[in-house]
């Protein structure tokens, strides 16, 4: 809504009110406003005046004018208020200087202050060019420091800058949704029909035409507004929490509380909630695909860039709102929040939010246009032929109007959106949350499903099974370490250090309660800390004696984590390390055995690696542990470590995984596992779940993919079932390689490292309870209860939704074609009386919307998960499909015309004959809806015909509406009909049954021809 305020003329020194002819439409961002200007709509002269005047205003950096909307977007000095800018626009329109007398031109003053150099664009936030200055200068620009802001200072800035929230685009209003129902070409054609009726002296026909247009608009409005409400209720995400430094301490705050100057702690999986300049980075990579479109994670650093105008994708020392930390760690000072961020500026340009058209909607819109063009051609041809035969211009015009009405499928525009929305609702009942309408279609066409292992196929609840400490292997059972008290032998120095490293190299938080400590963190780290506690180590005391100083997180290339600790004595640990056994072992110089240090020679290394392989072959996740006493040892590149041993953990499979894989294979869906685990571990899990069916899983170590040509890469990926030791970037490449081979790929995952692949997949599927928030934010589908077995039901529903749309459209097209054929045939019959436009409207009103909605609510057919998925590249409607439509429409038309012929022979042209034709056509079309329930012939049993209670209800309602004009004289006279007798009723019933038998015969013949598994419709 435009903001307009009238008052007396304001002084330049006071905040002026808004002029009468300039209103503010969007002003959430200081220094950026969208204004509505009276008279600007399609006025090139006014645009020239404003462009020339604003170009000469030193405090205006950019102006963009849209003559289609009459709106003006201006970026200007943040020192100006939106009202002051509005008055400058108004003065330009009045032919005066934009800057009021007495106002100061501030831009030259800034130039002088800057030493005469070119000033930075004044509309930008203080940190918009933070990448072009050093980290210390960036901190100074927002009056901050590495220790972070003070609590009171942060609260003051929050009041000054407002919450860190993006402008929220308003959804379409109810009025806009209603008006949109009348913007299609079919509706325009009906409007033309109404005008033609009025011109030919049939005002009642014109009134009824417009009334039916309004009624269809109302039905479409009810369906589409309900669909949008369903989408709005289902989609969206909750607010994130952010780690920031306040007064030197790390605090966990709501994202809306972040302010400029906050120092944000960047850790893997962190969702970045503001634009910030990096001041520290260790192996930091960020997924910026939501902003730049570059889906490969980008490496970041804290250095200075020389290019002041570097595009966003090249600002390697900055992070931006809406992106996700993929790996590594760092610190960044916030330069812009909320609407001042890059993504905020983009979102501020969005005036209204509307779900994008799905592929089905686009295809139906295109088909609707083609149908209108076809009907116009037929109407023109029939009109010309009738006039040439001497049937008269006026009767033929009326015939053309009736034919046009018969051709327009009024229910077509709303069917796709409504059916998809109904599919959303059904999936929600199954705890499958779908964020995009397109994903409903996409689920049904998937032919490859890629699974992450941990947290997806498994429960992500780790328990330690075995240890290799020094030279001794321990298998932990129900009695713990096998000792009398269940604790470890802490007199063994290597065992004591092993458990201390397990307790220290983690970010697990400890909560004390009356029943002992509770550990909160990732399942792997909780399992390790719990191991230390069960072994007899006082975890809190160890942490107190070895306070953490710094953490270097694992990255794509460095698959281990290092924690650095304040070394309070010679015996204390300086570095604690855990991670990939082979990489940790490479950085070790010696090992602890029996309380003393021993050389790590080739034989010792071989024994450790062999034990690692043995553990992994049992499906266990294996980590290596090491430490260092040397305080000079850098956590980013540790070396000369002391090897302690291996810890092997088991993550139990989720229930029903083997049956689920079998279900997918039966449905023609290939299953693939992509994991960071070792090949032996991945192979054991793949065998256990039956990932490759009865065949042996083909294991591909990610290292073997290095250096392959694109063709060889695609070939290797196409033949693999399991991809092991895969980094997030490589996971993304595997997804894309599968897509390049023509596959429709679904990716399921729950972790931080799954984000890029989830975004790139045709359908990204995340876990809702145990999954990372960052994974849920980029996914198209979220399984809310983490029960992966519901994914099968989701795919079945996706297939059913697509099939239901096709069934509804099939019904609409065939019945409308039958109406075209009947009107055309009556037109060509000498002396015949034509169906009136009002009759055709009534037929469409009764037979279009209600049965189509009933078909849209069809349950998934039995066996829908026993056939291959449809080819997503195949068109919805093929030449063979149109031939089938023509055959079915021909049968319905033939039955109706046969009844029409009976009426002509018995009664001649007139209301009685029209009643017989009218009733036969409607009845045949309603029975045809039963034939549209299935793509294959299911026999004539009650379940095969009447198994859809929603369709039964809509057909009953439509049948009652069909009887109404025959039973109610006022409506009968309006439609030009007459009562029918018993013999007429028998003819009508016989013709309807003949039509139904004919369409069922075609369905049976098509079923026999296409015997065998067929792709889902």
> Would you please indicate which residues are annotated as catalytic (active-site) residues?
452
625/578 Cα distance (integer angstroms):
5
Closest alpha carbon to 29 in 62, 57, 54? 62
468/498 Cα distance (integer angstroms):
10
| 977, β-bridge pairs | none
Residues 6+ apart with CB under 8 A from 340: 29, 30, 125, 275
From first CA to last CA, the distance across the chain in angstroms is 46
The helix/strand count (H/E) of the chain reads as: 34, 32
Are the C-beta atoms of residues 835 and 910 closer than 8 Å to each other? no
| 599, β-bridge pairs | 590
Q: Give the phi and the psi of residue 844 in degrees, each rounded to 5.
A: -65, -35
608/619 Cα distance (integer angstroms):
17
Sign of CA dihedral 853, 857, 862, 863: positive
Sign of CA dihedral 14, 20, 22, 27: positive
3-state secondary structure 583-645: HHHHCEEEEEECCEEEECCHHHHHHHHHHHHHHHHCCCEEEEEEEECCCCCCCCCCCCEEEEE
Residue 710: count of CB within 10 angstroms of its CB:
10
Sign of CA dihedral 518, 520, 526, 529: negative
794/101 Cα distance (integer angstroms):
67
Q: Which two tokens stand for residue 505?
A: 């190299």
Helix (H) or strand (E) holding 665: helix 657-666
| 276, β-bridge pairs | 319, 334
Are the C-beta atoms of residues 618 and 606 closer than 8 Å to each other? no
29/166 Cα distance (integer angstroms):
10
3-state secondary structure 740-780: HCCCCEEEEECCHHHHHHHHHCCEEEEECCCCCHHHHHHCC
345/166 Cα distance (integer angstroms):
9
């Amino acid at each position: 809504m435009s903001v307009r305020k009238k008052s007396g003329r304001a002084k330049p020194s006071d905040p002026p009110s808004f002029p009468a002819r300039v209103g503010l439409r969007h002003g959430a961002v200081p220094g950026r406003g969208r204004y509505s200007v009276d008279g600007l709509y399609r006025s090139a002269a006014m645009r020239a005046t404003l462009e020339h005047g604003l170009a000469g205003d030193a405090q205006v950096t950019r102006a963009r004018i849209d003559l289609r909307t009459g709106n003006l977007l201006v970026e200007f000095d943040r020192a100006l208020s939106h009202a002051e800018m509005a008055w400058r626009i108004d003065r330009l329109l009045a032919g005066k200087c934009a800057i009021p007398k007495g106002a100061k031109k501030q831009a030259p003053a800034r130039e002088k202050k800057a030493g005469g150099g070119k000033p930075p664009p004044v509309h930008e936030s203080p940190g918009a060019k933070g990448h072009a200055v050093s980290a210390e200068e960036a901190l100074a620009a927002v009056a901050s420091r590495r220790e972070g802001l003070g609590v009171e200072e942060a609260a003051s800035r929050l009041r000054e800058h407002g919450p860190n929230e993006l402008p929220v685009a308003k959804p379409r209003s109810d009025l806009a949704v209603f008006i949109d129902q009348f913007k299609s070409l079919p509706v325009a054609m009906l409007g033309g029909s109404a005008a033609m009726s009025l011109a030919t002296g049939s005002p009642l026909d014109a009134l009824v035409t417009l009334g039916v247009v309004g009624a269809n608009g109302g039905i479409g409005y009810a369906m589409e507004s309900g669909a949008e409400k369903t989408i709005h209720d289902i989609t969206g995400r909750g607010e994130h929490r952010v780690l920031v430094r306040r007064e030197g301490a790390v605090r966990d705050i709501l994202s809306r509380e972040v302010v400029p100057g906050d120092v944000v702690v960047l850790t893997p999986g962190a969702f970045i909630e503001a634009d910030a300049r990096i001041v520290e980075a260790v192996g930091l990579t960020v997924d910026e695909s939501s902003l730049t479109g570059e889906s490969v994670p980008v490496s970041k650093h804290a250095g200075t860039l020389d290019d002041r105008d570097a595009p966003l994708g090249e600002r390697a020392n900055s992070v931006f709102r809406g992106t996700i930390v993929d790996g590594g760690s760092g610190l960044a000072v916030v330069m812009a929040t909320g609407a001042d961020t890059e993504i905020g500026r983009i979102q501020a340009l969005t005036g209204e939010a509307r779900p994008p058209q799905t592929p089905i909607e686009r295809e139906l819109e295109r088909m609707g246009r083609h149908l209108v063009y076809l009907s116009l051609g037929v109407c023109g041809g029939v009109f010309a032929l009738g006039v040439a035969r001497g049937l008269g211009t006026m009767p033929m015009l009326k015939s053309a109007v009736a034919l046009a009405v018969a051709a327009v499928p009024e229910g077509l525009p709303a069917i796709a959106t409504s059916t998809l929305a109904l599919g959303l609702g059904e999936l929600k009942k199954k705890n499958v949350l779908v964020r995009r309408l397109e994903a409903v279609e996409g689920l049904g066409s998937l032919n490859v499903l890629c699974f992450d292992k941990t947290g997806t196929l498994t429960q992500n609840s780790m328990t330690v099974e075995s240890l290799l400490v020094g030279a001794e292997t321990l298998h932990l059972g129900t009695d713990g370490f096998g000792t009398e008290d269940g604790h470890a032998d802490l007199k063994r120095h290597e065992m004591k250090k092993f458990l201390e490293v397990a307790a220290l190299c983690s970010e697990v938080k400890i909560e004390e309660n009356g029943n002992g400590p509770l550990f909160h963190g990732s399942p792997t780290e909780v399992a390790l800390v719990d191991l230390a506690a069960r072994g007899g180590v006082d975890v809190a005391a160890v942490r107190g004696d070895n306070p953490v100083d710094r953490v270097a997180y694992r990255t794509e290339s460095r698959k281990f984590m290092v924690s650095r600790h304040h070394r309070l004595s010679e015996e204390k640990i300086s570095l604690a390390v855990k991670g990939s056994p082979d990489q940790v072992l490479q950085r070790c110089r010696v090992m602890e055995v029996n309380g003393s240090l021993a050389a790590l020679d080739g034989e010792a290394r071989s024994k450790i690696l062999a034990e690692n392989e043995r553990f992994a072959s049992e499906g266990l996740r294996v980590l290596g542990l090491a430490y260092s006493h040397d305080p000079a040892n850098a956590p980013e590149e540790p070396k000369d470590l002391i090897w302690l041993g291996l810890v092997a953990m088991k993550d139990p499979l989720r229930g029903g995984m083997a049956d689920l894989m079998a279900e997918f294979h039966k449905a023609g869906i290939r299953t693939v596992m992509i994991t960071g685990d070792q090949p032996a571990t991945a192979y054991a899990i793949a065998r256990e779940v039956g990932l490759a069916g009865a065949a042996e899983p083909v294991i591909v170590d990610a290292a073997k993919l290095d250096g392959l040509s694109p063709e060889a890469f695609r070939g290797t990926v196409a033949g693999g079932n399991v991809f092991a030791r895969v980094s997030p970037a490589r996971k993304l490449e595997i997804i894309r390689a599968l897509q390049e081979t023509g596959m429709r790929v679904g990716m399921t995952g729950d972790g931080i490292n799954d984000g890029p692949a989830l975004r790139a997949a045709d359908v990204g599927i995340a876990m809702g309870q145990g999954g990372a928030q960052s994974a849920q934010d980029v996914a198209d589908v979220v399984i809310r209860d983490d029960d992966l077995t519901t994914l099968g039901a989701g795919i079945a529903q996706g297939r059913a939704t697509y099939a239901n749309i096709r069934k509804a459209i099939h019904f609409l097209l065939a019945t409308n074609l039958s109406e075209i054929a009947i009107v055309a045939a009556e037109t060509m019959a000498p002396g015949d009386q034509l169906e009136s436009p009002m009759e055709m409207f009534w037929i469409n009103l009764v037979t279009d919307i209600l049965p189509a909605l009933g078909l849209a609510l069809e349950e998934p057919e039995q066996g829908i998960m026993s056939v291959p998925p449809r080819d997503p590249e195949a068109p919805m409607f093929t030449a063979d499909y149109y031939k089938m439509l023509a055959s079915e429409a021909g049968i319905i038309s033939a039955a109706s015309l046969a009844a029409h012929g009976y009426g002509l022979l018995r009664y001649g042209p007139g209301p009685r004959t029209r009643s017989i034709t009218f009733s036969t056509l409607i009845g045949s079309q309603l029975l045809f809806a039963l034939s549209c329930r299935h793509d294959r012939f299911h026999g004539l049993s009650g379940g095969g015909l009447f198994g859809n209670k929603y369709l039964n209800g809509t057909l009953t309602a439509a049948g009652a509406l069909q009887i109404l004009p025959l039973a109610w004289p006022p409506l009968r006279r309006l439609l030009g009909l007459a009562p029918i007798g018993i013999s007429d009723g028998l003819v009508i019933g016989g013709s309807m049954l003949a039509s139904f038998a004919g369409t069922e015969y075609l369905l049976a013949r098509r079923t026999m021809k296409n015997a065998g598994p067929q792709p889902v419709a």
